[in-house]
């Protein structure tokens, strides 16, 4: 790991994306989203996705000139077709549209079909919360794990994001439906580490903490066993219904890398119209303070609310530089033509 100054990271990502063919504006906006994810400690879905994204652009799997088109407007709901454009820009556009709708109606719902990978889902939850909105967002994906009771791939890991604003730092949850991602398995394997809890099944069909054994079977464990499996299925169905798009098993047929052709939902609420910002803030403060007052397992730590460690990491990144894997940094510098 090396530490890179945030501005330098942003500029390098911009150069790599611009060189890949994105317009100046698109490259700037994309670079900011990936730089922020990396700064927040989510390297895997920040700078870590840049080489693969550029590869997808080169293959024509992401259309860098496409803009979302309106499929349907129905009161507080807007259905968009992402036209397989740039996933992070599509998702940010959807978030902004949902904010506009929520300002008008108290709630704003954007369902987008036929888009591409939104990278770190938390990006849109943080955006919404920082602008004062509460949010519930999710995406479906191609099948990447077996449903509970199955051995073959059948469900997506369909990340779910929720956010509630709070002045001292919003409550933000960003969770996939697998207990661990393939990225986490790979990183544990490279370090020679076992997972802290079971993460999937080994070749004998036994629950396992061995990342390599799970990578070999591709039998990722849904979070909470049958519960995460069921939640993944329902999030998939509801996203496909609302966006009038593809459920996971049809995304599987697109065969253009990870996430291409997926559906996303953005449900935003405006607390200013529902009891007021101050009441929402006091309630969120109360929850954070209540958690901090519970008894920790490790007495050197306090019990954290979702989003708390992200904010701490963000501050550290701005103060001391953003942590980036050194081989990955070299690869991205090369893509940026600055190596």
Find the binding residues for its own copies in span 7-26 (CB under 8 A): none
Q: What does DSSP assign to residue 81?
A: E
Q: Give whichever of 303 and 312 is closer to its own copies, judged by the CB atom.
A: 303
The count of residues interacting with its own copies (CB under 8 A) is 79
Question: What distance in Å separates the CA atoms of residue 201 and residue 183, rounded to the nearest whole number?
Answer: 17
Q: Give whichever of 210 and 270 is closer to its own copies, judged by the CB atom.
A: 270
147 forms part of the interface with its own copies (CB under 8 A): yes
Q: Are 70 and 112 in contact (CB under 8 A)?
A: no
Does the CA dihedral 109-90-251-162 come out positive or negative? negative
Q: Give whichever of 119 and 145 is closer to its own copies, judged by the CB atom.
A: 145
Q: Are 199 and 209 in contact (CB under 8 A)?
A: yes
Q: Please, what is the minimum distance in Å from the beta carbon of residue 6 to its own copies?
A: 27
Q: Give whichever of 12 and 243 is closer to its own copies, judged by the CB atom.
A: 243
Interface residues for its own copies in 74-93 (CB under 8 A)? 74-77, 79
State the catalytic residues.
45
From 5-13, 16-24, 224-232, 311-319, span contacting its own copies (CB under 8 A): 224-232
Interface residues for its own copies in 282-311 (CB under 8 A)? 283-284, 286-287, 290-291, 294-298, 301, 303-306
Question: What distance in Å separates the CA atoms of residue 25 and residue 93, rounded to the nearest whole number?
Answer: 14
Q: Please, what is the minimum distance in Å from the beta carbon of residue 160 to its own copies?
A: 8
337: buried, middle or exposed (CB in 10 Å: 19+, 13-18, 0-12)? exposed
Residue 125 phi/psi, 5° resolution? -70, -45
Residues in the chain: 339
Closest to 37 measured CA to CA, from 16, 9, 58: 9
182 forms part of the interface with its own copies (CB under 8 A): no
Q: Which contiguous run of DSSP H or E holds residue 318?
A: helix 308-320
Interface residues for its own copies in 226-285 (CB under 8 A)? 227-228, 230-231, 233-238, 240-242, 244, 247-250, 267, 269, 271, 273-275, 279-280, 283-284
- Figure out which of the listed residues 9, 10, 171, 214 binds its own copies, where binding follows CB under 8 A: 171
From 13-21, 59-67, 105-113, 184-192, span contacting its own copies (CB under 8 A): 105-113
Beta bridge partners of 201: 207
184 forms part of the interface with its own copies (CB under 8 A): no
179 forms part of the interface with its own copies (CB under 8 A): yes
For 92-144, give the DSSP string: HHHHHHHHHHHHHHSEEEEEEEEE---S-THHHHHHHHHTT-EEEEEE--S--
């Amino acid at each position: 790991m090396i530490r890179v100054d945030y501005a330098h990271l942003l500029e390098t990502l911009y150069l790599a994306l611009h060189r890949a063919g994105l317009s100046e504006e698109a490259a700037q906006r994309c670079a900011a989203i990936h730089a922020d994810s990396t700064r927040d400690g989510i390297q895997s879905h920040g700078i870590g996705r840049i080489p693969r994204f550029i590869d997808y652009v080169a293959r024509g799997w992401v259309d860098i000139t496409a803009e979302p088109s309106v499929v349907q407007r129905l009161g507080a709901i807007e259905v968009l077709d992402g036209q397989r454009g740039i996933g992070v820009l599509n998702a940010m556009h959807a978030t902004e549209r949902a904010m506009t709708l929520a300002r008008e109606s108290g709630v704003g719902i954007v369902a987008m079909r036929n888009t591409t990978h939104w990278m770190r889902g938390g990006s849109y939850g943080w955006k919404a919360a920082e602008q004062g909105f509460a949010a519930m967002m999710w995406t479906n994906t191609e099948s990447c794990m077996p449903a509970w009771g199955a051995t073959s791939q059948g469900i997506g890991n369909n990340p779910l994001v929720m956010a509630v604003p709070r002045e001292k730092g919003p409550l933000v949850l960003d969770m996939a439906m697998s207990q661990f991602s393939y990225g986490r398995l790979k990183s544990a394997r490279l370090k020679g580490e076992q997972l802290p809890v079971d993460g999937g099944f080994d070749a004998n069909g036994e629950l396992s903490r061995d990342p390599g054994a799970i990578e070999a079977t591709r039998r990722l464990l849904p979070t909470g066993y049958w519960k995460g499996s069921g939640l993944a299925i329902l999030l998939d169905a509801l996203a496909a219904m609302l966006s009038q798009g593809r459920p996971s098993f049809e995304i599987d047929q697109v065969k253009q890398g990870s996430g291409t052709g997926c559906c996303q939902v953005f449900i935003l609420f405006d607390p200013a119209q529902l009891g007021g910002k101050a009441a929402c803030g006091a309630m969120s403060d109360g929850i954070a303070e209540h958690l901090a007052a519970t008894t920790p397992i490790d007495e050197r730590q306090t019990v954290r609310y979702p989003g708390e460690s992200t904010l701490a990491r963000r501050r550290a990144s701005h103060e001391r530089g953003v942590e980036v894997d050194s081989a990955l940094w070299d690869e991205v510098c090369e893509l940026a033509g600055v190596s």
